[in-house]
């Protein structure tokens, strides 16, 4: 989902009828198998209460009736489930402003009541044994309540105030506003049928494939079938007097994909000019991250009236036809839909990733915005304020969950910096193994799952990185002072200090790129800061620079000041090529040191020896860990201080 601004709320529901007998093994249905994939009964954490943890949902059939001109819904939802322990009752997430007409179990009505304002309790006449597939049907009607971004909404179209449109948008906590469900992020629904009945002039878009459009008098019923695991919040429908058109994408991995678009008639031409461009994006994502996750069904869009997009599986709901939002929502089909965050604390796994994939299309030249400008805009939005982490600390606030600055932009920049730390090969390898992990696909993931893949790909530990950039707040503010010693082969002296933007004590262990230029030549050097003591660096380059630019390619989410100064002291480095002798000029990069020179004996060089009877001088001496300076008997070393 991206930049959601929803102002109109309204309730709607549609009517469905139960279809086919489900026979369980994994579960499996004999010939018309509704379970193309099954979700692991997730070990991920979520906000879901323990009251809903004792059964595993296998299938929903929503049979609902609506009129987009009226805020109202009626119908029934049939749920097939497997108890994970013996149970005498079960709970559904459902708001108590809705009227439950009856609950049917094995052809008989059973007791039910709202135990809280958002929990419907169903009491069975006996015990349902663990591990046995069973089902229950809930009949209800009412005016769904608003909340969040508006779970159930109605408005007029952009074409006419006489034309109505209705849609649902349940992320994060709105599914229970309009249908009885299991809303937490632990149990994906293996399969769903969605049957929506409405006045005959309306077309209804939804998840999966449209397998029937039946007419009965002045009404129609559109029957959608979706055979991939799906969380409750991604189940959706939209109804309007849509103009319908198809785009066809030739997939680089073979075959074609239908892109089905439900658009207000007056916007159809412009919408088509935008959606037709998605073939390049689709194939770029396939090349990077594997097959389109729902390639046996479709992709598509349904137009609604809100300021953004919502990534319902196989059919994104769009408030307009912005190309970058089309790209963002398509990216969600992998990151957010195929693998879904297992907690709203981890929403960046959805939104940060989809945002970064927007940026990757800029890098590829697919969008007109350059990658540099895209990064600059994102970084600028992050640096406006010090507060807030990518980790979502307040999942009771919808605005905090979907913070564009933190969950979207800083989440995307975290990925960009991780790419900088690991390098392209390891970064994209880790990203690919994550999104195709058989234990995570069509299921839920936590940030720890992602970290594990990236650590394996990079053969490293990322604890400090994620402590700083995921759980931590703020960013580093670098103070960089540099000079060039033209008398010593244009040796650069670079002093890099950092402070924390919030005044905290966090030290950011990052490779720091600085570009040195003189008008005709340039080179970019990377200085690795692993500890606060890693602040003074020397490097010899083949020209005398006149200016320095911090992070020229915008790899870091940071601020900086860069100052050139006169050479504070001549610094001479031991290179130790001949006989270990301090007194040989060829053993130093700028001649034998004097009492006015600073001396550095670097790690990894041969031993430096002051031989018996020799007297040597320097102003300051640094022997790096692992290096060795040997003073023989009757040798003298004079150090200024």
* Token duo for residue 421: 């730390």
Q: Are 390 and 475 in contact (CB under 8 A)?
A: no
Q: How many domains does the chain have?
A: 4
Show the 3-state SS of 528-590. ECCCCCCCEEEEECCCCCCEEEECCCCCCCCEEEEEECCCCCCEEEECCCCCCECCCHHHECC
Q: Kindly state whether residue 271 falls inside one of the protein's structural domains.
A: no
Other beta carbons within 10 angstroms of residue 40's beta carbon come to 17
Determine the distance from the C-alpha atom of residue 38 to the mean position of all C-alpha atoms in its chain, rounded to a whole number. 23
Are 560 and 626 members of one domain? Answer: no
- Give residue 407's domain range: 339-471
Are 219 and 166 members of one domain? Answer: yes
Q: Kindly state whether residue 307 falls inside one of the protein's structural domains.
A: no
**Rounded to two decimals, what is the model's pTM?**
0.91
Q: What is the pLDDT of residue 1?
A: 67
Alpha helices in 257-410 (DSSP H): 268-275, 278-289, 323-332, 348-363, 371-382, 398-401
Q: Kindly state whether residue 182 falls inside one of the protein's structural domains.
A: yes
Q: What is the pLDDT of residue 51?
A: 79
List the one residue out of 455, 409, 392, 404 whose CA is nearest residue 429.
455
Q: What is the pLDDT of residue 504?
A: 85
Terminal CA-CA length for the chain: 62
Phi, psi of 212 (to 5 degrees): -160, 145
Q: Kindly state whether residue 125 falls inside one of the protein's structural domains.
A: yes
* Token duo for residue 344: 């709203």
Q: Kindly state whether residue 4 falls inside one of the protein's structural domains.
A: no
Q: Kindly state whether residue 623 falls inside one of the protein's structural domains.
A: yes
**CA-to-CA dists, residue 522 to 254, 486, 639, angstroms:** 45, 16, 36
Boundary-marking domain end, from 545, 564, 583: 564
Q: Kindly state whether residue 257 falls inside one of the protein's structural domains.
A: no
List the one residue out of 240, 225, 64 whose CA is nearest residue 153.
240
Q: Residue 398 and residue 445: Cα distance in Å, rounded?
A: 20
Phi, psi of 299 (to 5 degrees): -125, 165
* Token duo for residue 250: 């030739």
| Cα dihedral: 597, 600, 606, 611 (round 10) | 40
Q: What's the CATH code of the domain at 492?
A: 2.60.40.1910
Are 447 and 576 members of one domain? Answer: no
Q: What is the pLDDT of residue 5?
A: 37
Name, in order, each residue with C-beta under 8 angstroms of 50's C-beta and a sequence gap of 6 or more.
Answer: none
List the one residue out of 524, 253, 555 whose CA is nearest residue 424.
555
Determine the distance from the C-alpha atom of residue 173 to the mean position of all C-alpha atoms in its chain, rounded to a whole number. 19
Where would I find the beta strands (DSSP E) of 68-218?
70-83, 87-93, 99-105, 108-109, 111-116, 119-128, 134-142, 152-156, 164-168, 191-199, 203-206, 209-216
β-pairing, 598-601 vs 571-573, is: parallel
Determine the distance from the C-alpha atom of residue 239 to the mean position of all C-alpha atoms in its chain, rounded to a whole number. 29
Boundary-marking domain end, from 533, 564, 595: 564
Q: Are 331 and 285 in contact (CB under 8 A)?
A: yes
Are 391 and 491 members of one domain? Answer: no
Q: Kindly state whether residue 356 falls inside one of the protein's structural domains.
A: yes
Are 485 and 597 members of one domain? Answer: no
Are 415 and 555 members of one domain? Answer: no
Q: What is the pLDDT of residue 19?
A: 30
Q: Residue 300 and residue 285: Cα distance in Å, rounded?
A: 16
Boundary-marking domain end, from 471, 500, 528: 471
Other beta carbons within 10 angstroms of residue 585's beta carbon come to 12
Q: Residue 78 and residue 5: Cα distance in Å, rounded?
A: 32
Are 520 and 583 members of one domain? Answer: no
Q: What's the CATH code of the domain at 164?
A: 2.60.40.1730
Mean pLDDT by 10 residues, the chain (641 residues): 41 29 24 34 41 93 98 98 96 98 97 97 97 97 88 94 95 97 97 98 98 97 98 98 98 97 97 97 98 98 95 97 97 98 98 98 97 98 96 96 98 98 98 98 98 98 98 97 95 96 92 96 96 93 96 98 96 95 96 96 96 96 96 96 75
Are 545 and 590 members of one domain? Answer: no
Are 623 and 530 members of one domain? Answer: no
Are 56 and 186 members of one domain? Answer: yes
Q: What is the pLDDT of residue 149?
A: 84
What is the helix (H) or strand (E) element at residue 466, kind and residue range? helix 463-466
Q: What is the DSSP letter of 387?
A: -
Q: Are 442 and 39 in contact (CB under 8 A)?
A: yes
Q: Residue 641 and residue 631: Cα distance in Å, rounded?
A: 18
> How many residues are there in the chain?
641
Are 235 and 120 members of one domain? Answer: yes
List the one residue out of 318, 257, 261, 326 whose CA is nearest residue 293.
257
Q: What's the CATH code of the domain at 418?
A: 1.10.390.10
Are 85 and 140 members of one domain? Answer: yes
């Amino acid at each position: 989902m991206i930049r959601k601004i929803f102002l109109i709320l309204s309730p709607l529901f549609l009517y469905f009828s139960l279809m086919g007998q489900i026979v369980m093994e994994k579960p499996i249905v004999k010939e018309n198998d509704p379970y193309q994939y099954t979700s692991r009964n997730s070990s991920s954490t979520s906000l879901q209460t323990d009251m809903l943890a004792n059964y595993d949902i296998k299938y929903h059939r929503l049979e609902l009736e609506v009129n987009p001109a009226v805020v109202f819904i009626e119908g029934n939802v049939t749920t097939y489930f497997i108890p994970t322990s013996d149970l005498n009752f079960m709970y559904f997430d459902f708001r108590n402003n809705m009227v439950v007409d009856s609950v049917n179990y094995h052809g008989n009505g059973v007791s039910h009541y709202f135990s809280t304002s958002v929990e419907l309790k169903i009491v069975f006449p006996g015990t349902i044994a663990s591990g046995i597939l069973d089902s229950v049907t809930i009949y209800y009607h009412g005016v769904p309540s608003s909340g969040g971004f508006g779970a159930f909404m109605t408005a007029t179209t952009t074409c006419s105030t006489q034309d109505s449109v209705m849609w649902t948008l349940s992320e994060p906590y709105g599914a229970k506003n309009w249908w009885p469900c299991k809303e937490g992020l632990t149990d994906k629904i293996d399969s769903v049928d969605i049957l929506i009945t409405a006045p005959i002039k309306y077309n209804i878009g939804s998840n999966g494939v449209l397998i029937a459009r039946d007419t009965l008098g002045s009404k129609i019923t559109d029957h959608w079938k979706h055979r991939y695991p799906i969380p409750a919040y991604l189940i959706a429908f939209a109804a309007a007097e849509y103009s319908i058109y198809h785009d066809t994408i030739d997939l680089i991995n073979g075959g074609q994909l239908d892109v089905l678009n439900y658009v207000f008639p007056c916007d159809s031409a412009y919408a088509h000019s935008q959606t037709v461009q998605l073939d390049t994006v689709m194939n770029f994502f396939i090349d990077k991250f594997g097959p389109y996750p729902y390639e046996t069904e479709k992709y598509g869009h349904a137009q609604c009236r809100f300021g953004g997009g919502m990534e319902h599986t196989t059919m994104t709901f769009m408030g307009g036809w912005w190309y970058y939002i089309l790209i963002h929502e398509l990216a969600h089909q992998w990151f957010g839909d195929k693998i879904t965050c297992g907690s709203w604390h981890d929403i960046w796994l959805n939104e940060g990733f989809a945002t970064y994939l927007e940026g990757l299309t800029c890098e590829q030249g697919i969008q007109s915005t350059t990658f540099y400008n895209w990064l600059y805009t994102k970084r600028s939005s992050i640096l406006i304020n010090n507060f807030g982490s990518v980790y979502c600390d307040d999942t009771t606030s919808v605005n905090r969950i979907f913070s564009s600055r933190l969950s979207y932009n800083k989440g995307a920049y975290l990925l960009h910096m991780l790419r900088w730390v690991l390098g392209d090969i390891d970064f994209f390898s880790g990203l690919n193994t994550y999104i195709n992990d058989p234990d995570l696909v069509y299921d839920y993931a936590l940030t720890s799952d992602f970290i594990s893949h990236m650590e394996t790909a990079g053969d490293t530990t990322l604890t400090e990185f994620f402590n700083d950039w995921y759980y931590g707040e703020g960013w580093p503010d670098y103070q960089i002072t540099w000079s060039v010693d033209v008398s010593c082969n244009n040796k650069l002296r670079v002093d890099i200090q950092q402070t924390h933007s919030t005044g905290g004590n966090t030290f950011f262990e990052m490779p720091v790129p600085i570009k040195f230029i003189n008008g005709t030549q340039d080179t970019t050097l990377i200085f690795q800061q692993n500890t606060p003591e890693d602040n003074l660096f020397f490097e010899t380059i083949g020209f005398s620079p006149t200016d320095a630019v911090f992070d020229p390619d915008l790899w870091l989410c940071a601020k900086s000041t860069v100052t050139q100064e006169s050479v504070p002291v001549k610094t001479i480095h031991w290179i130790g090529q001949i006989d270990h002798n301090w007194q040989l000029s060829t053993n130093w990069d700028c001649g034998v040191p004097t009492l006015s020179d600073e001396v550095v004996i670097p790690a990894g060089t041969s031993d430096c020896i002051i031989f018996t009877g020799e007297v040597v001088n320097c102003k300051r001496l640094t022997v790096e860990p692992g290096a060795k300076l040997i003073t023989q008997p009757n040798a003298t070393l004079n150090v200024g201080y």
